Amino acid sequence: MLRRYFPILEWGAAYNREILTADMLAAVIVTIMLIPQSLAYALLAGLPPVVGLYASILPLVAYAIFGTSRTLAVGPVAVVSLMTASAAGAVAAQGTAEYLEAAITLAALSGVMLAVLGFLRLGFLANLLSHPVIAGFITASGILIATSQLRHLLGISGGGENWPEMLGNLFANLPDTNWPTVVVGGFATAFLFWVRKGFAPLLEKFGMTKKGAGMAAKAGPVIAVVLTILAVLAFDLGTRGVALVGAVPQGLPPFAVPSTDMGLIAQLFVPALLISIIGFVESVSVAQTLAAKRRQRITPDQELVGLGASNIASALSGGYPVTGGFARSVVNFDAGAQTPAAGAYTAGGIALASLFLTPLLFNLPIATLAATIIVAVLSLVDLKTPGQLWRYSKGDFAAHMATIIATLLAGVEMGVIAGVLLGLLLYLWRASRPHAAVVGRVPETEHFRNVERHKVLTLPHLLSIRIDESLTYLNARWLEEYVLERVAERPELRHVILMCSAVNAIDATGLESLEAINHRLADGGIGLHLSEVKGPVMDRLNGTHFLEELNGRVFLSQDQAWSELAADDGEIAPTDHMLARGLI
Amino acid sequence: MLRRYFPILEWGAAYNREILTADMLAAVIVTIMLIPQSLAYALLAGLPPVVGLYASILPLVAYAIFGTSRTLAVGPVAVVSLMTASAAGAVAAQGTAEYLEAAITLAALSGVMLAVLGFLRLGFLANLLSHPVIAGFITASGILIATSQLRHLLGISGGGENWPEMLGNLFANLPDTNWPTVVVGGFATAFLFWVRKGFAPLLEKFGMTKKGAGMAAKAGPVIAVVLTILAVLAFDLGTRGVALVGAVPQGLPPFAVPSTDMGLIAQLFVPALLISIIGFVESVSVAQTLAAKRRQRITPDQELVGLGASNIASALSGGYPVTGGFARSVVNFDAGAQTPAAGAYTAGGIALASLFLTPLLFNLPIATLAATIIVAVLSLVDLKTPGQLWRYSKGDFAAHMATIIATLLAGVEMGVIAGVLLGLLLYLWRASRPHAAVVGRVPETEHFRNVERHKVLTLPHLLSIRIDESLTYLNARWLEEYVLERVAERPELRHVILMCSAVNAIDATGLESLEAINHRLADGGIGLHLSEVKGPVMDRLNGTHFLEELNGRVFLSQDQAWSELAADDGEIAPTDHMLARGLI
C-alpha cells in the first residue's frame, strides 16, 4: 500500500554507487539542456524567465518521490506553457502580479486535480483524448507557439490568443522591426537548426562516439545562449534595441501561496482541468514509451499522483504548471538515468544555476530564447498525419482537422474541447448503430453467416439475427428498430432468433429493449429466442423477469435453435425437404 | 422524398368514410379528456389556463401533417409543463407578460431545435437518455409535480424550484390553510382516485361493455369539473376563499410572435434543448409502443420534424411546449383512431370549447385542476424500478438514483444533466476497460477458450489473447497496458497472438496502439501476430503502414496461428528464424 503511493521506497531500497554514478551523469546533461529551455518556456508562458527555473526544481524532487517512471523528466513544456499563457491572460495582463498569481494558482489547481483523479483512479478520463485529437492539438499548438515567438525574432510587440490575432498583430507591427534583433534571432535560429542536423556528424568526424556526439548536440541551446550573450557584450546590442532578459532575481525559489479567491479559482477551473489532462496524456505517453524500452512498467493512476505532487510543489515554490516533457525525458533516458533520483540531482543543478548563474543571463537576448522555442516546437508540427487519417478513417480525420482548426482560430482551450466533443459525438453516433446481420446456415455445416455476404440457407418463418455488439442504452433503440423493421418485411415469420455470441453485456436499457421486442413480437404472434448467450450475460438475465416473460427459449447454440425451430413451421415447406437432405 | 417529410400524403390518399367515422369518435373522447387536462397542465406550467387550450389546437393539426405515428396525441404534458415552469420562472415572475413570452419562446426554440435535429437525422442523441435516467427523472418529476400542487389543495401560496424549497414553503404557509378549499380539493382527489378504480366496474354492472365503461371512466376529470363548479355555485365558495379559475378569454388562439431578444434566447437555450429531448423521448416511446401493436412503423427522425412543427405551431398560436402524451395517446388508440386526422378533429373540438365553453369555467376551483394533476402524475412515480435495477446492475442503479436525487434537490434541469453525465461517465468507464482473455487450446480441438475458465493447453513461449471488443480510442490505452502487462509476466515469451474474432472495428487510435504494441514487443524480441481478423477490418488495415511494420503475421484462424508458431520455440532469435522460414 505504502509502496503504491511512494514508489521511491521500491527503487530507493536497491540504490547503490553504480546507479548513483549513472544518475549523476544523466542529471548533468539534462541540467545543461534544461536551463535555456526553462527560461524560454517561461517566456512563452508570459512569465519572468526565473519562474521557469523555479518550476524546474521542487517539481522534479516531488516527482522523484511519487512518480512511477524511472526516466521521465518533468518541468515546463511548450504546450502547457502556451495553455498557461492563454488561461492567465484571460484574468490579468502579462507582467502584473495578478498574472503571476494566476499562473501559480493554475499549478496548484492542476496539481490538486491530478492528485484527486489519481486517488479516484479516474485516469481513464484521459482516454477521451483520442490520438487524432491529440495529434491535431499538438500540431496546432506548435504552429501557434512558433507564430507567437516570431515577434521576438523581429523585436516588435504583438501577442494574441489565436492565429488570426497573432498574424494580425505581427503584420501591423512589422514596420517597427528592429534589425539588430533580426540578426541575433536569425543567427540563433540558423545555428540551432544546424546543431540539430550537422553538429553531431561534425563531432563524430572529430573522433567522438555517435552517442557522445548526439549528447553534446543537446547542448546546442546553451552554446547559442553563450554566443549571443557574447555578441550582446561585444557589439553593445542592448543600446541598439535588442530586448534582453535583464535582471533575474538570484537565489532559491521563494515560498509562494496560491490564491484562495474563489472567483479566480472558478475562472481558472476549466483551463486547469484541460492543462491537467493534456499534461497527463503527454507525460504518460512518454513514460510508457520509455518504460517499454527497458521492459519496465508505469502505473497511470499513480502517475497522476506523481504529476499532481509535482504541480503542487511548483505552485508552492513560485512556479507554474509542469509535466513530463518528451525531449528532455529522451535525453535523460539516453544519458543512462536509472532512477527518478536523476531528476532530483537535476533539480540540484538547476538550483545551483538559479543561485549563481542568473547574473550572467542579464545580457541574454530574448530573441535567442524565442529561437530555442521555435526550433523545438516546429518538430511538433506533423503534416503527415492528416493524409494518413483521411485514408484510414474519415471520422478520425474530421476530429483531427476540427481540433486543428478550432485551436488555430479559437485558441487552445476551445481547440481541446471541440476535439473531445466531436470525437465523443462520432463515437456515440457509431455506438448507436452497431453492426448486426441477418444470418443463415452454411449448407452442410453448423456455421451461420451473413446472408448478404455468403450463400446460406434461410427459412421464411425463421429469422436469425446476429448482434455484433453489447446491448447498451446507446444502441437499445437501434436494436428495437432493427429487429422490428426486419420483422415487418416478413409476413410469414413465426420465430426470431437473436444470436448473442458477440454480446458481452446487456445493460438495463438493453434489457428493457429486449422486453419491448419480446412484447411486440408476442403481440404479432411471433416467438423470440436467444442463442449462444455468454455465461456472465446469462447469469445476469437469470435474475430478471425477462426470461420468465420470454415468448420463446434460450438455446445453447444457434445450430440447436435452428434445428428445433425449423420444424415448427405449421405446414410442410422447404424445411422438410431440407431435413430429408440432412441439411438441418 | 415529399412523402418522407409529409406523411399525410401517404395516409391521406387512402382516407375514406369508414376511417372518418372511427377518427371522429376517437376525437370526441380525446377532446373530453383533454379539456380539463389542458387547463390543469397550463396551471402546472404557471400559465393562464387558456394557454393550455391554445397549446391543444394548432399543434395537433401540425402533427397530423408531419407526424408519422397514426395514433399519437400531442398537447401539453405534465413533465414538460413542469420544465416550462422551471425555465420560464428563471427569467420572469409567474403572471407577468414576460413569463408568458418566455413560455412561447421556449416552444418556438424547442420547435426549431426538434426540426433541425430531425433534418440532420440526429435523433440518436436521444439515446444519451438511458432507461434508468428517464425512469428516475419521471419518478422525481412526478413527486415534484404532486408536491407543487398540494398548495392548491390547501388554498395556500407556495412554490419553489426543488423539493426542499417546495416543502419548506408548504409548511411555512400551512397555518393559512383554507378549509373550504380542502373540502373541494379533497372531494375532487378522492373522486378521481375512485373513478380510476371503481367507476368502470360500476358502469359494467349497469350493463355497459368493458371497453365502453373504460372509455367513460376517462371522462372522470370532466365530471369532477362539473361537480365542483356546481358546488361553488351552490355554496358560494368563491366568497369563502376558494380560488377559482376566473375569467378565461373567449375565442380562438391569437397569433403570437416569439421573442427575438438574443439575451432571452441564450438564457432559454439549454432548457429548450432539455425540453426538446425529454419531450421527444417520451413521445417516441409512446408512438413506438402503439405502432407495434398494429404492426405499424414510425420514423424517429421524421417524428422530430413532426414534434418540431407542433411546437412551432404552438408558439405561433400563443401556446407553450407540447409533446406526445402517454395517457391521451392510449385513449386515442383504444377509442379506435385510425389516422392522425383524429388529432385534427380533436383540435376542432378544443377550438369549439375555447370559443363557447370558457365562460362556464369561471367558477371552476383551482383545487379541482390540482387534484386532476396529482391523480395523473402519481402513476408516474415508480417505486419498483430502483430494486430491479439494484439487482440487475449497480451502475444503472447509481445513474437512476443520482437522477432522482439531483432532480428532487436541484430541479428538473440539473436532474437530467446529472443523469446523462453520470450515465455517460459509467459507459465510458466500462468502454475503457473491455473484456479480453488469455486463451489456450481446448485439447484435441480447434477451439480456444479462456485459460481462467477452462482446462486448456498453453505454451510458455506463445501467448494468445482474445479481445472481445472493437479497438477504439476509449480502450486503446487499456489494450497497451493489458498486453504489455501479460508480456512482462512471461520471460520466456517469443510470440503474442491477438485473436480478433470479436473486433468489429479499429479506429485510428486503436491502430496507433497496435503499432505501439508492435514496436515495444519488437524491442523485446517478441513477434506480434493477429488471427481471425474480420473482412472489413482487414480491408482497412491493408492500406496502412502497420501491416508492413508488423513484426509477425496475420493468420486466418487462431488454430493455424497456434500450429505454426508452436513449433517456433528454438534458440535462434525469432526474427531471423522467421525470416529464414519465410514466415514474414
Domains of chain A (ranges; CATH) run 2-424 (no CATH), 436-580 (3.30.750.24)
For residue A11, name the pLDDT band (cuts at 50, 70, 90).
confident
Do the beta carbons of residue B132 and residue B139 sit within 8 Å?
A: no
| Closest C-alpha among B488, B492, B465 to residue B568 | B492
CA–CA separation, B288 and B4 (whole Å)? 18
Residue B378 grid cell: 402519481
Report which DSSP code applies to B572: S
Distance of CA A24 to the CA centre of its chain: 31
What is the bridge-based pairing of β-strands A74-75 and A462-467? Answer: unpaired
**Structure confidence at residue A469 (pLDDT):** 85
Q: For the packed helices A476-488 and A508-523, what is the interaxial angle rounded to 10 degrees?
A: 20
CA–CA separation, B555 and B562 (whole Å)? 9
| Closest C-alpha among A469, A450, A449, A463 to residue A529 | A463
Do the chains contact at B126 and A512, CB–CB below 8 Å? no
Do the beta carbons of residue B225 and residue B36 sit within 8 Å?
A: yes
CA–CA separation, B31 and B346 (whole Å)? 5
What is the bridge-based pairing of β-strands B554-555 and B527-531? Answer: parallel
Mutate to test the interface with A, among B298, B390, B466, B473 (most CBs of A within 10 A): B473
Tens of pLDDT, residue by residue, chain B (584 residues): 777 778 888 888 888 888 898 899 889 888 988 888 899 899 899 999 999 999 999 999 999 999 989 889 999 998 999 999 999 999 999 889 999 999 999 999 999 999 999 998 887 777 888 888 888 988 998 899 899 889 999 999 887 888 999 999 999 999 999 999 999 999 999 999 998 888 888 888 888 888 788 778 878 888 999 999 999 999 999 889 899 988 888 888 888 888 888 889 999 999 999 999 999 988 988 887 787 777 677 888 899 999 999 999 999 999 999 999 888 888 888 888 899 999 999 999 999 988 988 888 899 999 998 998 898 888 888 889 899 899 998 889 999 999 999 999 988 888 888 888 888 888 888 888 888 889 999 888 888 888 888 888 899 899 999 998 889 888 988 898 899 888 888 888 999 999 998 888 899 989 988 998 998 888 888 999 999 898 888 988 987 889 988 999 999 889 899 988 988 764 334 444 334 333 33
Which of A392, A395, A468 lies nearest to residue B540, judging by beta carbons? A392
3-state per-residue secondary structure call for A251-300:
CCCCCCCCCCCHHHHHHHHHHHHHHHHHHHHHHHHHHHHHHHHCCCCCCH
Residue A381 grid cell: 508540427
Do the beta carbons of residue A77 and residue A142 sit within 8 Å?
A: no
How many beta-carbon pairs under 8 angstroms link A with B?
159
For residue A116, name the pLDDT band (cuts at 50, 70, 90).
very high
**Structure confidence at residue A198 (pLDDT):** 83
The SS3 call for residue B335 is coil
The CA R_g of chain B, rounded to the nearest whole Å, is 31
Which of A389, A434, A485 lies nearest to residue B508, judging by beta carbons? A389
Does A128 lie at the interface with B, CB-CB under 8 angstroms? yes
Residue A273 grid cell: 482541468
Which of A428, A524, A543 lies nearest to residue B391, judging by beta carbons? A543
Does B16 lie at the interface with A, CB-CB under 8 angstroms? no
Residue with cell string 386532476: B372
Do the beta carbons of residue B232 and residue B238 sit within 8 Å?
A: yes
**Structure confidence at residue A574 (pLDDT):** 37
Element (H, E) at B531: strand B527-531
CA-nearest residue of chain A to B545?
A388
| Closest C-alpha among B113, B412, B426, B154 to residue B272 | B113
Distances (CA, A) of A352 to A169, A220, A252, A426, A525: 39, 21, 8, 51, 85
- Range from A120-129, A174-183, A284-293, B212-221 that averages highest in pLDDT: A174-183
Chain segment A345-370, per-residue pLDDT in tens = 999 999 998 898 888 889 999 999 89
CA–CA separation, B201 and B217 (whole Å)? 10
Contacts of B518 in chain A (CB under 8 A): none
**Structure confidence at residue A584 (pLDDT):** 36
Do the beta carbons of residue A341 and residue A73 sit within 8 Å?
A: no
Please give the angle made by the CA atoms of A395, A401 and A404, to the nearest 5 degrees. 145
Residue with cell string 416550462: B84
Chain segment A130-171, per-residue pLDDT in tens = 888 888 988 998 899 899 889 999 999 887 888 999 999 999
Do the chains contact at A128 and B523, CB–CB below 8 Å? no
Residue with cell string 492528416: A386
DSSP-derived secondary structure for B386-405: HHHHHHH-HHHHHHHHHHHH
Question: Within a 10 A sphere around the Cβ of A575, how many other Cβ atoms?
Answer: 21
DSSP-derived secondary structure for A142-209: HHHHHHHHHHHHHT-----SSHHHHHHHHHHHGGG--HHHHHHHHHHHHHHHHIIIIIHHHHHHTT--
Distances (CA, A) of B344 to A196, B296, B324, B347, B350: 77, 20, 14, 5, 10
Distance of CA B137 to the CA centre of its chain: 9
Do the beta carbons of residue B556 and residue B532 sit within 8 Å?
A: yes
Average pLDDT over chain A reads 87
For residue A499, name the pLDDT band (cuts at 50, 70, 90).
very high
Do the chains contact at B543 and A392, CB–CB below 8 Å? yes
Contacts of B488 in chain A (CB under 8 A): 295, 297
Mutate to test the interface with B, among A392, A541, A542 (most CBs of B within 10 A): A392
- Give the global pTM: 0.78
Residue B582: is it exposed, middle or buried by C-beta count within 10 angstroms (0-12/13-18/19+)?
Answer: exposed
Do the beta carbons of residue B107 and residue B341 sit within 8 Å?
A: no
Do the chains contact at A288 and B480, CB–CB below 8 Å? yes
Residue B59 grid cell: 399543434
Contacts of B452 in chain A (CB under 8 A): none
**Structure confidence at residue A128 (pLDDT):** 83
CA-nearest residue of chain B to A534?
B468
- For residues A540-549, b (16+ Cβ closer than 10 Å) or e, as one string? bbeebebeee
What type of residue sits at position A203?
Answer: L
Which of B128, B297, B453 lies nearest to residue A485, judging by beta carbons? B297
Q: Of all residues in chain A, what percent are helix, strand and coil, respectively (each to 5)?
A: 65, 5, 30
User: What is the average pLDDT across A522-529?
Assistant: 88
| Closest C-alpha among A373, A254, A322, A415 to residue A61 | A322
Do the beta carbons of residue B417 and residue B133 sit within 8 Å?
A: no
Residue A339 grid cell: 532512477
Residue with cell string 488495415: B541
**Structure confidence at residue A130 (pLDDT):** 86
Element (H, E) at A59: helix A58-66
C-alpha torsion A32→A35→A36→A40, nearest 10:
150
Chain segment A541-554, per-residue pLDDT in tens = 987 889 988 999 99
CA–CA separation, A307 and A298 (whole Å)? 13
Residue B69 grid cell: 405515428
The SS3 call for residue B436 is strand
Contacts of A127 in chain B (CB under 8 A): 428, 432, 473-478
CA-nearest residue of chain B to A489?
B295
Residue A518 grid cell: 419480446
Do the chains contact at B477 and A520, CB–CB below 8 Å? no
Question: Within a 10 A sphere around the Cβ of A91, how many other Cβ atoms?
Answer: 17
Q: Is the interface score ipTM higher than 0.85?
A: no
Does B524 lie at the interface with A, CB-CB under 8 angstroms? yes
Chain segment A386-436, per-residue pLDDT in tens = 998 999 988 899 999 999 999 999 888 888 888 888 888 888 888 888 888
